[in-house]
Structure 1
Amino acid sequence: MPDRPAMTDSAITPTRPTDAPDPAALFQLEQPLSARRIVVAMSGGVDSSVVAALAAQSGAEVIGVTLQLYDHGEAVKRKGACCAGDDIRDARAVADKLGIAHYVFDHESAFREDVIDRFADEYMAGRTPVPCIRCNMGVKFTDLFRMARELGADCLATGHYVQRVIGAAGPELHRAADPARDQSYFLYGTTDEQLAFLRFPLGGLPKPYVREIAAGIGLGVASKPDSQDICFVPDGDYASLVKKLRPAAANVGDIVHAQSGETLGRHKGIIHYTVGQRRGLEIGGQAEPLYVTGIDAQRQAVLVGPKRMLAVGAMTVVETNRIGPLPTTGPDTQLTVKVRSLAKPVPCRIGGPFGDDAATRIVFDKPEYGVAPGQAAVVYAGERVIGGGWIEGTEKA
């Protein structure tokens, strides 16, 4: 177990506005906090830096941990990423300012295999992947969880915008108080064991206030831009990355009408298309607008059709994870499901076992559009995250 670092001249006791939340309450730990050890996942951004500062202010012993997920030479070129070269230096600078220990672990190989390679393979299979969820389910939570345990921590704290609420059956995962910052869609794979150990101190705070805290403390990352959604894709050009990893991804093929089977044109590689897409098809002379309704990876074909063909009545969801018990069914219980990170949750019914990697059928109360295999489906009961899984297939409405 590492010794607590000695306070140096550069170490500070963080200050905060008088109306700031009580750090002790944010970390949901038993008093005295001076006897507690908090490990903070530090990505180098403002959110995790503020979590580390609040943890340090609580009086607990704090250890910052950063995962290096990229080759150092490549990482320093990538702006707006996380767990990269510049970000590691920012995390270390924050730790030095706070006077806390900071460790960097090399996870480049695991990240490439579990996240980047899988991302490329999913696109090659005609699916629409969500790598941030894979990262949270694997590298970020599973490995950080193990590291924090090995460091003798009482909890692992992150800068995610979700809330951990103690319910009748134990800890529950809830949406963030700030809907614009809510990250619950990306954390549905959190297990009950992990949730018992995890803390999300920022879940009840608005982002501008978090930056205010950082500025008040004097952290250099106070105005640092947020990281992009897919951190390992420079400039958002995921197609170029997939083509580099899987050259066959650039193979051209036919654009086929899903109803008539007529070939309407040629596409520039299936990685450029996803279900629900309208722009970029470059098909003219049609009686009505056409949308991508499916990807046939075996034939290297992009299937298109009118918007009504996108209407989905139900979907099959696999590898499901449930957080806590399912709510008791009744007239006042309404489950909703979110099928894209920026989509609004819509009413649904679960038609089978849910959790423990089971496959289940989820039925929409009304037809839903743009449901793409490979995306995640996350189920809510009010503000509480029930769990979710990967969309395997859909049924037309």
Structure 2
Amino acid sequence: MKRGSPRRRRHRGPDSGITGSRVVIADRGGREACRLRGEVALLRSVGVEEELLLVDAATWEPHAVSAAVLETAGRAGGGDHGFQKELHGQQLEFATRPRTEMTELAAEIRERRAEAAEYAGKAGAAVAALATSPLPFESAINPDDRYLWMEREFGPITRAQLTCGCHVHVSVESDEEGVAVLDRIRPWLSVLLALTGNSPFWRGQDSGYSSYRSRVWGRWPSAGPVEIFGSAAGYHDYVASMVATGVLRDPAMAYFDARLAERYPTVEVRVADVCLDASTTVLLAALVRGLVETAAREWREREPPLPHRVGSLRLASWRAGRSGLEDRLVHPLTMRPAPAEAVVRSLLAHVRDALRDDGDLSFAEDGLGRLLRTGNAARVQRDVLRRTGSLHAMVAECVRRTQS
């Protein structure tokens, strides 16, 4: 997150946060308390980072114009415009403000996407919420000291990383709570990957995967699932030991599927592809908040995390990236194959109480039902290609859907 810490908003008085029948009051731990029908529930704030693909507005091929787009954004929005460069010049990232209401988060995501499209248009480009480029591309590493170090150190791994993900930040009250959450959400992250698969094509070919981005991203030596840490001290010692090997430049290169954020009091879930439709991004954010709250409650009730081994979690992640919602997944509770719909409904059941308390249950039920009926964005891309017969036309359609 780059646009402010996801702590509570300041309120001028006890009535300043009234929205319908909900009254927002201040809480001390990065959350907001909402009194609804006489009951109090704490709403954790949520922020989203989306990485977008910049493509030429005529050829639909990746277009390395991020510097020009950021210059335009700076002139239009000043220093706090919310956009920043990424590893490749064909990428653009934005971060939302921390939100507690999903309707507000949805509005901001659509606003940021529209701004990105406007700024890109002035550089002869368009933005597409695609997790990999369907069309071939040349590496265009941004001339940043950090990125150039990564290119020297990791070579073709770095040059291949024209991939776009979606990161969700959810507020936690302490590192101790955050690590307890990380330990307990591990088995469920592969389901989020299956839901958000949006990268079936790679360099002009169908990869056969729902999320080929996850396979490319997994080439980083620190990427993927991790073991149970047990405590905040255990987590920080683990990261420090990784950096001490000299392979990683700094703790920010601990590319775990979920981690403690470096600069904010949040858990950062990094497993998802960027979502083609903004509504799927918001669904992801609601589910991640539900997972964080559910895990925190389990920790407070002294329920231990499931003791799945990292190897099993890696296999579950591979299956999710390969199959998406089209086939079986590895069930988070049993680590055995199960139909994708059954696994998705198990996720919903797992976080149902938290979603209900957050006011997100109906939204999540509708969104998951839609994805189970229509498929994830990988299926959408393949369907458009079958209809048009052209990867270029498919990218053009995805550009349109990015802003819909």
Query: TM bucket by the smaller chain?
Result: under 0.3
- Pair member with larger Rg: 1
Q: Scaled by the length of structure 1, what TM-score is found? A: 0.23
Q: Which structure carries more helix by proportion?
A: 2
